[in-house]
Amino acid sequence: MTPLTTLIHPTAVVHPGAELHPTVQVGAYAVIGEKVKVGAGSVIGHHAILDGRVEIGTGNRIFPGAAIGLEPQDLKYDGSLNLVKIGDGNVIREYVTINRATWSGDATVIGNGNLLMAYVHVGHNCVIEDQVIIANGVALSGHVHVESRARISGILGIHQFVHIGRLAMVGGMSRINRDVPPFMIVEGNPARVRSLNKVGLQRAGMDAEDEGNTMRSLKKAFRILYRSGLPLSQALEQLELLPQNESLEHLHQFLQLSQLPGRRGSIPGKPQSRKDED
């Protein structure tokens, strides 16, 4: 049972069954349901709604008007009280919506240290890993998986079951209906792989890793995948001939998995070739 403290605004509606750490702050007119758990140091803004089965970790900031844990927008939903699980240190801005999963025992999962800007929608069964930034007005359909440190620019939609790779960057107003490979910049309608995300990789410290071997190998991989004109199957065989490291192996595995039944395939490169910049 949650005790009424000076940290909970008197106009907030907090169900007696909710489990809030004593340090949690709750703003005016917020609504927190029976199955909600919130960890230490989290701040729930005014008019926010947390309902359904929701577990939120420590140090999160949830801004006004956010709606977390409501029923999935899925006609297959059977009324199960499924889970939204949110980790630590996330910033969830104004009017973000995060729906719980469709099937019994499943979860919509947000990791640690993410920034979801205003009006982001996270559909049922999505997984967002760690340190992801999603800009304003992005809609993630059901079952989207976003790997750590990806950057998604504003005003775009992501199709169901799409995977966004680690340290990828998606340009604003793109149409993302296939998987976004790790470490790449993708942009456009139809979306295409434009270049290696060199700035993002450098900010992640990858230029200094292994005396630069990782960055060099990813540059070579980019040329093979998106500038050689080889079919993907042959390009993947060529990647195996490069000096291996964890990042290159992750890229190779991601592209292989993208071709499996039930996945949407990976976004291709530009049809015409162009000279790469080092």
pTM: 0.94
Q: Residue 206: pLDDT band by 50, 70, 90 thresholds?
A: confident
C-alpha dihedral, 233 to 200 to 170 to 215, nearest 10°: -10
Instruction: Please provide the average confidence, as pLDDT, over all residues in the chain.
Output: 94
The model's confidence at residue 194, banded by pLDDT at 50, 70 and 90, is very high
Q: Which fold has domain 13-146?
A: UDP N-Acetylglucosamine Acyltransferase; domain 1 (2.160.10)
What average pLDDT does the segment 15-33 reach? Answer: 98
In tens, the pLDDT along 71-99 reads 999 999 999 989 999 999 999 999 999 99
pLDDT in tens, 207-246: 755 555 899 999 999 999 999 999 999 999 999 999 999 9
pLDDT (tens digit per residue) in 46-58: 999 999 999 999 9
